[in-house]
């Protein structure tokens, strides 16, 4: 099992940072890669034509390895989840009267594109909410999502892990049901890929979109996406010259080429070869691969075992183990504890978590240790007084 990796980060010892779902602290290696990129950019003669392609292709291969994709050309480099989902919205084959199934309170980037599309095309959005009072909340939520997928469903758009409270959705069952009715499956992997195992060949999602600044340990304005066969040959959001056949030959760029590079290259953003962000993403994704998501899960699970014991004693409400992940989970307050009191105590002890809806979102990583969990437990006890 992995040991604590705090030495690989620059974190203040005065802050109990349990908030990777908000934004990961920078690995020292990622920070250094960005600095080196900036330093190289000082002198344009150091940047060769091949630099516009080699590093981008390396990054795509790394992400393909992480999600177990057998073709790195199906990976696109983009700036944000909103961009990746806009590609989906632009290319969804749909007609009036069909529906899109989503989970309640998904992150907005996986909702706004479908609302706009529904208004334009006459679609219906079926939003499936959980029963927060149920002791089998996650199981029931998954079942209701399956039941919502019907003959009129054109797309199911979900996260792997709910961003607000860490509820895990059974993507294998959802994929099977969506295939039965001919609907595509689109996944926002931002809060899971990099910390929780994901196998695109097993799940066979049609699209997977992942922001990089959380569990992929990378910089902001960085996103990696996978597009399956459904999106082959469809329309990009922008006409990127780097995505055209033969663009490696700078001497022939004005011999305009209509044909794109294969598979998902057409969905790359303009400026995909950013000399600062791409090296940072390479460093971040490389480290995640080296750690392995299965080991990250095991570390976080072992680390938080004492926390869940105390949460149960204090009357906090949390998801059943079968429907939660170890790196991100929400806890809801018992009636005798006020949210404002919790916020006050956490601020006093410099505990960084996120408050999302009715849940306190806790998201540990390898830089956390037993001391961090002890500080959190003591703060929760203090809020109960």
Q: Would you say 185 and 206 are in contact if contact means Cβ atoms under 8 Å apart?
A: yes
329 in a structural domain: yes
pLDDT in tens, 96-111: 999 999 999 999 999 9
Residue 215 in tokens = 């569990």
Assess contact for 203 and 187: CB atoms under 8 A: yes
At 37-86, the pLDDT tens digits run 999 999 999 888 888 899 999 999 999 999 999 999 999 999 999 999 99
DSSP 209: E
Question: Given 290, 325, 356, which residue is the final one in a domain?
Answer: 290
Q: Which long-range contacts (CB under 8 A, 24 or more apart) does 289-293 make?
A: 289/62, 289/65, 289/66, 291/2, 291/5, 291/366, 293/66, 293/193, 293/194, 293/195, 293/196, 293/197, 293/198
Q: Are residues 96 and 83 in the same domain?
A: yes
Instruction: Based on the fold, state whether residues 299 and 170 are members of the same structural domain.
Output: no
Query: Across the strands, what pairs with 359?
Result: 356
pLDDT value of position 141: 98
Same-domain status, 92 and 220: yes
CATH code for the domain in which residue 95 is found: 3.40.640.10
Identify the pLDDT of residue 293: 98
In this structure, the answer to whether residues 132 and 253 fall within a common structural domain is: yes
Q: What is the CATH number of the domain that holds 334?
A: 3.90.1150.10
- For residues 148 and 263, state if they share a domain: yes
Full residue range of the structural domain in which residue 305 is found: 6-18+293-383
**Based on the domain organization, do 299 and 243 belong to the same domain?**
no
By the 10 Å C-beta count (0-12 exposed, 13-18 middle, 19+ buried), 4 is classed as middle
Verify that 359 and 251 share a domain, yes or no.
Answer: no
Q: Do 188 and 98 belong to one domain?
A: yes
Whether 276 and 309 map to the same domain: the answer is no
Q: Is residue 23 part of a domain?
A: no
In this predicted model, what pLDDT tens digit does every residue of 160-207 receive, in sequence order? 999 999 999 999 999 999 999 999 999 999 999 999 999 999 999 999
Answer yes or no: do 193 and 64 share one domain.
yes
Average pLDDT, the chain: 96
Question: What DSSP designation does 167 have?
Answer: B
Q: Which helix (H) or strand (E) holds 359?
A: strand 359-362
Domain boundary pick from 290, 322, 347: 290
| Alpha-helical regions (H) of 182-292 | 200-203, 277-291
CA atoms within 13 A on the CB side of 24: 33
Using a pLDDT cut of 70, give the percent of the chain over it: 100
What's the pLDDT tens digit per position in 244-296? 999 988 888 898 989 999 999 999 999 999 999 999 999 999 999 999 999 99
Q: Is the dihedral of CA 305, 307, 309, 315 positive or negative?
A: negative
CA nearest neighbour of 385 among 331, 348, 330: 348
């Amino acid at each position: 099992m992995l040991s604590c990796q705090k030495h690989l980060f620059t974190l203040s010892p005065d802050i109990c940072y349990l908030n990777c779902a908000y934004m990961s602290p920078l690995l020292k290696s990622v920070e250094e890669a960005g600095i080196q990129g900036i330093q190289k950019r000082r002198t344009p003669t150091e940047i060769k034509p091949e630099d516009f392609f080699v590093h981008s292709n390396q990054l795509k291969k790394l992400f393909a390895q992480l999600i177990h994709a057998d073709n790195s050309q199906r990976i696109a480099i983009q700036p944000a989840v909103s961009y990746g989902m806009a590609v989906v919205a632009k290319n969804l084959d749909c007609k009036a009267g069909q529906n899109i199934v989503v989970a309640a309170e998904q992150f907005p980037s996986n909702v706004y594109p479908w609302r706009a599309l529904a208004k334009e095309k006459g679609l219906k959005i079926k939003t499936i909410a959980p029963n927060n009072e149920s002791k089998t909340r996650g199981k029931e939520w998954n079942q209701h999502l399956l039941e919502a997928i019907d003959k009129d469903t054109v797309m199911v758009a979900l996260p792997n892990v709910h961003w607000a409270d860490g509820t895990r959705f059974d993507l294998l069952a959802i994929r099977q049901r969506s295939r039965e009715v001919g609907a595509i499956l689109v996944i926002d992997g931002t809060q899971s890929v990099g910390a929780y195992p994901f196998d695109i060949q097993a799940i066979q999602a049609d699209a997977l979109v992942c922001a990089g600044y959380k569990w992929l340990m990378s910089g902001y304005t960085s996103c990696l996406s996978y597009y399956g066969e459904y999106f082959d040959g469809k329309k990009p959001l922008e006409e990127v010259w780097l995505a055209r056949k033969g663009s490696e030959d700078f001497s022939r760029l004005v011999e305009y080429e209509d044909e794109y590079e294969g598979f998902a290259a057409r969905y790359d953003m303009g400026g995909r070869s950013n000399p600062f962000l791409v090296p940072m993403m390479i460093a971040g994704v490389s480290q995640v691969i080296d750690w392995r998501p299965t080991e990250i899960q095991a570390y976080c699970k072992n680390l938080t075992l004492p926390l869940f014991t105390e949460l149960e004693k204090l009357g906090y409400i949390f998801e059943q183990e079968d429907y939660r992940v170890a790196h991100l989970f929400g806890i809801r307050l018992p009636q005798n504890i006020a949210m404002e009191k919790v916020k006050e105590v956490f601020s006093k002890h410099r505990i960084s978590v996120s408050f999302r809806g009715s849940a306190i979102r806790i998201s540990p990583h390898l830089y956390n240790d037993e001391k961090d969990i002890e500080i959190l437990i003591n703060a929760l006890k203090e809020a109960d007084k």
